[in-house]
Structure 1
Amino acid sequence: MTSDMTQIFSEFIGMTILVLLGDGVCAAVNLTKSKAQNSGWIVIAFGWALAVTIAVYIAGFMGPAHLNPAVTLAMVVNGSLKASLLVPFIIAQMLGAILGAVLVWLAYLPHWDVTEDKDLILGTFATAPAIRNYPANFISETIGTFVLVLGLLAFGANKFAAGTNVFAVGGLILAIGLSLGGSTGYAINPARDLGPRIAHFILPMKNKGDSDWAYSWVPVVAPLVGGLLAVALFSIMN
């Protein structure tokens, strides 16, 4: 049986890779003079789906590869994870998300100085709504995370050939991004948004604006609610 420390480390390293590749595709699309500049939403959606797929493969042989506090909370509530790992998992996920964002900053180091759009810089790290309406934004993030967690629970109830379930997870992320991501940027993960937002706040960047803390609670609280609603429905279905 995998030790608790190994599982905690797997959440840290998996989250680091997830944000490195996920925020990395945002940097590629958003930043001035990037070779992928302006390549669009489809590239971002596919990039994030692949980021989650690769991260789950890297972390999955050491632990459950939740890589998301909303998923971890949901799995504690439904009994799939012992409660004593809730806080350590979330701390590991947050630290991994911050490190992953720092690595994106390093990977695109010259581009921050030549990118003048403050919103694009923040959007490389964290999400923001297309139309700022907090109740509507909250609902959007709740729905997206509800679909994510319900999908993960359903996948767990199905049989897959060894290792192929990860592709289903990647497909789920892609579907959410393409279908539900246009309103808020589909954080659907408190650590994925808050960790890089903290990195944005502390990193030195020439044209950096504020980190939009007024919105930051939405992609933290709404995914937790969405995940719990998914657990409640899945328990009724079973």
Structure 2
Amino acid sequence: MSSSDIFIGETIGTAILILLGGGVCAAVTLKASKARNAGWVAIAFGWGFAVMTAVYVSGPLSGAHLNPAVTVALAIKDGDWTNVPTYIGGQLLGAMIGATLVWIAYYGQFQAHLTDKEIVGGPGAQATTAKAVEAQEQGAGPVLGVFSTGPEIRNAVQNLATEIIGTVVLVIAVLTQGLNDKGNGLGVLGGLIVALVVVSIGFSLGGPTGYAINPARDLGPRIVHALLPLPNKGGSDWGYAWVPVVGPLIGAAIGAGIYNVAFA
């Protein structure tokens, strides 16, 4: 496959992944959304279906990595790093496009949410719960969770370990599902299985950090959050941003190593 196919496929696929995944977070979070307060089950299944849709759309072009951790794991497995920058470039651009589309689709809800005094408070308002105080101190704005992840308990070692463990599970699942007939990614059945694995990771391991398990999924939308003209949006929590990037990359290396030792 050509470099242009890879870049286009990963850009489109990751944009769809973030549009649908970030979209379910917006639906559950934002004021005046019909799905507000639908809960964690909706989020876990929403992200799983987002993965499935993105894999089926981008698979024929790029093999549907959609995740720098998957790209790195496949490079370690095969020993071929030639197209890694192309994959990751498309993934990061696609993630930013997808996050921007979420903002457009929910524009009115973002405006209503971020101008509601019950949510953002009035001039000089103070956070009243321990978690809200911590978020305020760390610079995590009230809609940052629509765009990127954040920890329930801020402990860098635990947060990093959680992201590593979740990514190891994802990477082993991807690698053991085999490659499609082009030899570059998941086939139809593999895409469905991996989507269900993502749902399982969300249910079982998503509680502590929001299960980024994908550096582009977290970093691209976080950049968009920082750039968008959202009223009262607060900070983008850059102090935490390294965890959902470094953790999944470490998990990718560990997962690929386990695969090469146990399965290859």
- Structure 1 partner of 2:224: 199
Aligned partner of 2:154 in structure 1 is: 132
Query: Would you say 1:121 and 2:138 are equivalent positions?
Result: no
Contact 1:101 1:196 (C-alpha < 8 Å) held by counterparts: yes
| Conserved 8 A contact 1:7-1:63 | yes
In 2, are the aligned partners of 1:30 and 1:120 still within 8 Å (CA)?
A: no
Matched, 1:144 2:166: yes
CA apart distance, 1:70:
0.7
Shift of 1:115: 1.2
The within-5 A match list for 1:147-226 is: 147-156=169-178, 163-226=188-251
User: When the two structures are superposed, what TM-score results if normalisation uses the length of structure 1?
Assistant: 0.95
Partner-residue secondary structure (3-state), 2:212: coil
Q: Distance in 2 between matches of 1:108 and 1:148?
A: 30
Structure ID, larger Rg: 2
Deviation at 1:63, TM superposition (A): 1.7
Write out per-residue CA displacement over residues 178-226 of structure 1, whole angstroms, 9 at most, x where no aligned residue.
1000000000000000000000000011120100000000000000000
Contact 1:31/1:120, CA 8 A, preserved across alignment: no
Measured after TM superposition, the shift of residue 143 of structure 1 is: 0.2
Paired residue secondary structure (2:154): coil
Q: Distance in 2 between matches of 1:122 and 1:158?
A: 36
Deviation at 1:61, TM superposition (A): 1.1
Q: Does 1:7 align with 2:6?
A: yes
Matches within 5 A, 1:56-135: 56-79=55-78, 82-116=80-114, 117=119, 119-135=141-157
RMSD value, Cα: 1.6
Map Cα deviations across residues 85-104 of structure 1 (whole Å, 9 max, x no partner): 11111111000000000000
Is 1:40 paired with 2:62? no
Alpha-carbon shift at residue 4 of structure 1 (Å): 2.2
> What letter matches 1:34 in structure 2?
S
Aligned AA for 2:161?
I
Q: Is the 8 A contact 2:10 2:64 kept in 1?
A: yes
- The residue identity in structure 2 corresponding to 1:23 is G
Q: How many residues align?
A: 234
Counterpart Cα distance in 2 of 1:32 and 1:157: 42
Q: What is the match of residue 184 of structure 2? A: none
2:188 counterpart SS class: coil
Q: How far apart are the structure 2 equivalents of 1:179 and 1:40?
A: 15
Could you list the runs of 5+ residues in structure 2 that have no partner in the other structure?
A: 121-140, 182-186
Unaligned 5+ runs, structure 1: none
